[in-house]
């Protein structure tokens, strides 16, 4: 009886050690991937996905997906003035003439709906996701907590 319980304990400890090892390797991989290409991915996120064209009486793209902390810029490519007005009063542009821009930095994750006050049927949406780097840190932390919990077995 006593002996089989000891054996069980040892098996649990071996499994816990294996999982801890795996978690450690995973967190190492996550750490290195968040350290190295961060500057390029941040640059890519900024340059490729944060511009909304106002073209032919519509906002393109919509929805626009960005990470928290990203500045979104609207550019009016139409021949008539448009505005960019948040439905929840979070941001509001002046009337934008052809070629004029409006920018707003989205700090908090969430969904932001907006419209053009000159043409209220023109609507758009910005989806702000949690910052990628913060996510990786959160996953690493969760793995560590799980490994520590398993070690208590």
Q: Quick one: which of 51, 68, 118, 137 contacts Cu ion (CB under 5 A)?
A: 118
Q: How far is the CB of 74 from Cu ion (least distance, A)?
A: 11
Residue placing its CB nearer to Cu ion in the complex, 119 or 129: 119
Judged by CB under 5 A, the chain residues 34 through 93 that form the site for Cu ion are 82
Q: How far is the CB of 122 from Cu ion (least distance, A)?
A: 5
Residue placing its CB nearer to Cu ion in the complex, 67 or 74: 74
Using CB under 5 A as the binding rule, whether residue 23 contacts Cu ion is answered as no
Secondary structure of the chain in the HEC alphabet? Answer: CHHHHHHHHHHHHHHHHHHHHHHHHHHHHHHHHHHCCHHHHHHHHHHHHCEEEEECCEEECCCEEEECCEEEEEEECCCCCECCEECCCCCECCCECCCCEEEEEECCCEEEEEECCCCCCCEEEEEEECCHHHHHHHHHHHHHHHHHHHHCC
Would you tell me which residues interact with Cu ion (CB under 5 A)?
A: 82, 116, 118-119, 122
């Amino acid at each position: 009886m006593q002996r089989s319980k000891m054996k069980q304990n040892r098996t649990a400890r071996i499994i816990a050690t294996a999982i801890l090892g795996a978690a450690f390797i995973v967190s190492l991989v996550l750490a290195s991937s968040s350290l190295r290409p961060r500057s390029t991915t941040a640059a890519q996120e900024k340059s490729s996905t944060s511009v909304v064209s106002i073209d032919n009486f519509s906002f393109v793209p919509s929805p626009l997906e960005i990470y928290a902390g990203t500045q979104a810029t609207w550019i009016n490519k139409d021949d008539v003035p448009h505005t960019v007005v948040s439905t929840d009063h979070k941001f509001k542009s002046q009337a934008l003439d052809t070629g004029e821009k409006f920018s707003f930095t989205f700090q908090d994750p969430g969904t932001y709906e907006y419209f053009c006050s000159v043409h209220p049927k023109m609507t758009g949406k910005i989806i702000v996701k949690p910052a990628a780097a913060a996510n990786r840190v959160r996953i690493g932390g969760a793995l560590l907590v799980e490994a520590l919990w398993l070690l208590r077995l």
